[in-house]
Structures are given as structure tokens and as C-alpha cells.
Amino acid sequence: MSKDIRIKKGLNINLIGDAEKTTSKAVLSNVYAINLQDFHGITPKLIVKQGAEVKAGEPLFFNKNVEDMLFVSPVSGELIEVVRGARRRILTLKILADKSQEFVSYAPLSPKSAKAEEVKAMLLKSGCWPFIKQRPYDIIANPSVTPKSIFISAYVTSPMAADLDYALKGKENEIQAAITALGKLTPGKVHVSIGKGGQSIFSKMEGAEIHKVSGPHPAGLVGTQINKIDPINKGEVVWTIAAQDLVIIGELLLTGRYNPERVVALVGSSVKTPKYYTTKIGSEIATFLYASGVNTENFRVINGDVLTGSKTKPDGYLGYYNNTVSVIPEGDDYEFFGWNKPVFNKISSTRALTFSWLQPNKKYDLDTNTNGEHRAFVVTGLYEEVFPMDIYPLQLLKACMVKDLDEMEQLGLYEVAPEDFSLTEFICISKQPHQQIIREGLDLLYKEIG
């Protein structure tokens, strides 16, 4: 069964630096790292001490609030460093990889015959659970709550993001296994969204409701799809999983091993030859960044796509949830009369002497300049043009800023994640940090209401 979803509001951001469809194996990283900022809202409690030897898939720490939730090492090796920040908060765990890899092995689980409890226990102990996120609050799913349904987006509209149909090719079995198993965890449906018209490996998945989505970004964001398919009401919980993580979950179920291998797209205008690399979660980005080469000295490396990713460095590590690494030029330079001269080489949502509307398919080379200073909200009506959800974006942002819990709830904060506001943030004339505002709003609501 399939239903069509057509998104009209939105904006495609076409950038130079899409990955060429060839995949190389990245050089093995010496050191792997787990960055704890990837796991929002987790209070980690270490299980192993610095200097301990761990196997691949062996737990490193657990979540203090949900003690079953384990976080495991991507490789076997020695935990060489626990990087701490202010108030001894753990920031990063670094593991020096062994030459020969040893895995923690579990008995494989047949997805079809397994019970829900078995699947849940397997995911929790193997370290795959954190791949499952929940809404409301956009945090790692609480295993004690049964979700209304599970959403997976296999339609990509984010700028320069990895093409799932290419990157996940040949992994159909793993994906099918994961979808079947996840289906046990909810009394509702598993919704999978695919692009309309294209050939998707997801189109034949059994046990899932397939939706065909078309339209500009943010049609590919799972939040947009939830809002159109079955919006979240107060009190309801849905889970979301990134399509590429189904492969790791599926492989775990079929082989009993946690194998965090992933095909990652290295993209961006600062990369000489943008393409795909096979690597592991936590690998040093330099292991594949310099294989493709960079064409400028002053660049920014981003874990994820340019709208939602997090800033890192060439010696940073591939994030837990990311299958794209974007490298774009830094924009820390002044531009003479940048605010009033006609602009042809940057994207704009207006036509105020900006001409990107003339060529909607032209590809641009954008840098990290804000193109203006931070201001109070002034202009109205522009966010609505790129925000397809049935929510008033400006009013919700303002409710979050003034910490009005009632208003935040009523205006639909339960339905959104920070990434849903990445496009409004992109076009914001007042250069307000939308994603941060929403994140803080969600955290406040979680703290006060839970």
C-alpha cells in the first residue's frame, strides 16, 4: 500500500560538491572516538576505566537515567583517553584500535520469529538502541515507552547529503531484517518514505507502509513526513530512525555482531574529489578527507549536512548519526557593500536585488558567512513559505524564547525537532539561531513536563 505526499512549501539548496557515485575504502583509523555531544540529554556513567582493553561492541558507558541503555565501543582496542570538559563532564572517549579486531558476539535473532522483548533486549545490550530516537523532544528513545508508530525517511532532500539508494545498495537483507524487527516494537505501523519516481531499495520492503514523497527540501526530513502522515499529539510518542542505521541494526540481528560500518559521503565545494567512503563510526575524518584532498586552506569540516551538522575539524571524528561529512569554505571575510549590491552568487529567498530565483537549479558555492548581523525578528511571512508543517513557526520560536510552556505545547513543539527549523534558520533575515532556540525549548519542556 502506498500513499503519495506532495510538499509544496520549501526550498532546495543546490550546492557545488555533490559526491560522485564511487566508493573507496577509507584508510583504517588509528584512534576512534565516541563524541558524547551526539547523544543529547544523556548522563553517561563509565563502565570501563581509562587504559582498559575493550572488544568491538563492548559497553563503554551507560545512561544513568535508563540503566539498560548501553553505549559500546566501535572497535576493539584500548580506551586511551577520557576527555573531560567543565565540571568534569565527559566529552569524548578515545580508543586506540588493535591490529586485529575482536567482536562481542551474540546469538543471532530471527527477526520474523523474535518477540518484542527479545528484540528490545538485543538492541539495548548491543549498543544499537541509541540509533532509535523519539519525538517529542528529539532524544534517544525511552525503552519503557511503546511508540505509536515508527518513521523512517529514505528520501533525501538535504543539501549534498548522501544518496541513500546508492550508499545502501546491497544491504537490502539487513534493512528488511531491521524493519521487521522494529515492527514488533510498536502496535502501530512502520512508515517508510521514499522519493516519488525514483527506484528505491526501500520500495519493496515488507512490513512497512511505504509513502511516496515529492517536493523540495524539507520534504525529506522525517518531521515533515510525520506531520503529513500522522501528526504527533500531546502524550503520543513516535520513534524515528535514520535509514543508514537500519543496516547496522539488521546486521546485528542477522549475525549477532555490532558492526558500525557505514558508507559516508564526503561532500562540499572545498573537497577536490567529493565521493563516498566506507568507514566506521568514530573514525578520524582525516583518514578519508585527505584521500580526496581539499582545495583551500580555510575550510570548515561539518559532521553531517550543511544545515544540521555539527562543526568539527579534520582531526575530528565521524559522528554517531552522520553519513555525510561536508567541507565548505569559511566565510570569515568582509564584503564591500555586501548588504546592498546586487548578488548573483548566493542563495536568497527574496528578490531584493538577489537573483537566485532566476535559476532555481543553479549550484552555488556558499561559505559559512552569516551575511549579516543578528537582529530581533522583524520580517514576517517568509518562514511560512519554506515551512510545510501545519505549525506557526515564528510564533513557536517566540514561545520558546520567552519560555512559555503552555504556548510551546499548544503550538506544536511536541511535533518538531531542531532540524525541522534548519531551513527557516537558513533564510532568516534576522539571523536568529532557530535550531538552538528549538533545542532549548525542547529541553525546557522535557525538564518541566517530561
Partner 1 sequence: MSLKNNLHNLKEKYKGKKMAPAFNAIHTFLYAPNETTHSGSHVRAVDDLKRTMNTVIMALVPVLIFGIFNAGYQHYAAVDAANGVVRQASLFGNFLTWENFIMGAWTVLPLVIVSYAVGLAVEFLFAVIKGHEVEEGYLVTGMLVPLIVPVDTPLWMLAVAVVFGVVIGKEVFGGTGMNILNPALTIRAFLFFAYPTWMSGDKVWVHQAVDLAGGPDAISGETILGYLAQGKGAEMSYSVADMFFGFIPGSVGETSTILILLGGLFLIYSKIASWRIMLSAVIGALVMGLIFNGVVDAGWITETSKFYGLMSFAFWQHLIVGGLAFGIVYMATDPVTGAQTNKGKWYYGFFIGFISVLIRVFNPAYPEGVFLAILLMNVFAPTIDHYVVRGNINKRLKRAKNATILPRDGEGKAQELKAETV
Count the Cβ atoms, other than its own, within 10 Å of residue 444: 15
CB 95 within 8 A of CB 33: yes
Nearer to partner 1, 82 or 411 (CB): 411
Task: Give least dist CB 231 to partner 1, A.
Answer: 7
Nearer to partner 1, 74 or 418 (CB): 418
Residue 293: phi and psi, rounded to 5, are 85, 150
The helix/strand/coil state of 178 is helix
Spatial strand order in the sheet of 149-153 = 2-6, 209-214, 190-195, 149-153, 238-242, 133-135, 139-140
Return the C-alpha cell found at 118. 527479545
Nearer to partner 1, 211 or 217 (CB): 217
Nearer to partner 1, 2 or 146 (CB): 146
Task: Give least dist CB 420 to partner 1, A.
Answer: 12
CB 324 within 8 A of CB 162: yes
Task: Give least dist CB 216 to partner 1, A.
Answer: 14
Count the Cβ atoms, other than its own, within 10 Å of residue 99: 7
Please state, in angstroms and rounded to a whole number, the distance separating the CA atoms of residues 291 and 390.
Answer: 44
Identify each DSSP E strand in 179-298 by its residue range: 190-195, 209-214, 238-242, 261-267, 275-280
Please state, in angstroms and rounded to a whole number, the distance separating the CA atoms of residues 352 and 141.
Answer: 44
Please state, in angstroms and rounded to a whole number, the distance separating the CA atoms of residues 252 and 109.
Answer: 8
Nearer to partner 1, 159 or 215 (CB): 159
Task: Give least dist CB 415 to partner 1, A.
Answer: 9
Nearer to partner 1, 79 or 325 (CB): 325
Nearer to partner 1, 27 or 382 (CB): 382
What does the H/E/C string look like for 33-71?
EEEHHHCCCCCEEECCCCCCEECECCEEEEECCCCCCEE
CB 83 within 8 A of CB 91: yes
Nearer to partner 1, 207 or 331 (CB): 331
Nearer to partner 1, 104 or 266 (CB): 266
Task: Give least dist CB 101 to partner 1, A.
Answer: 34
Task: Give least dist CB 14 to partner 1, A.
Answer: 12
Task: Give least dist CB 28 to partner 1, A.
Answer: 28
Task: Give least dist CB 395 to partner 1, A.
Answer: 6
Task: Give least dist CB 383 to partner 1, A.
Answer: 10
Short-list 310, 248, 287, CA closest to 32:
287
The reply to whether omega before 108 is within 30° of 0 (cis) is no
Return the C-alpha cell found at 34. 565516541
Nearer to partner 1, 159 or 195 (CB): 159
DSSP state letters, 198-232:
S--GGGG-TTSEEEEEESSTTTTSHHHHHHHHSPP
Q: Classify residue 161 by burial, with Cβ atoms within 10 Å: 0-12, 13-18, 19+.
A: buried
CA dihedral defined by 54, 58, 61, 62, rounded to 10 degrees?
-170
CB 239 within 8 A of CB 150: yes
Task: Give least dist CB 422 to partner 1, A.
Answer: 5
DSSP state letters, 394-434:
HHHHHHHHTT-HHHHHHTTGGG--GGGGHHHHHH-TT---H
Nearer to partner 1, 85 or 198 (CB): 85
Task: Give least dist CB 157 to partner 1, A.
Answer: 15
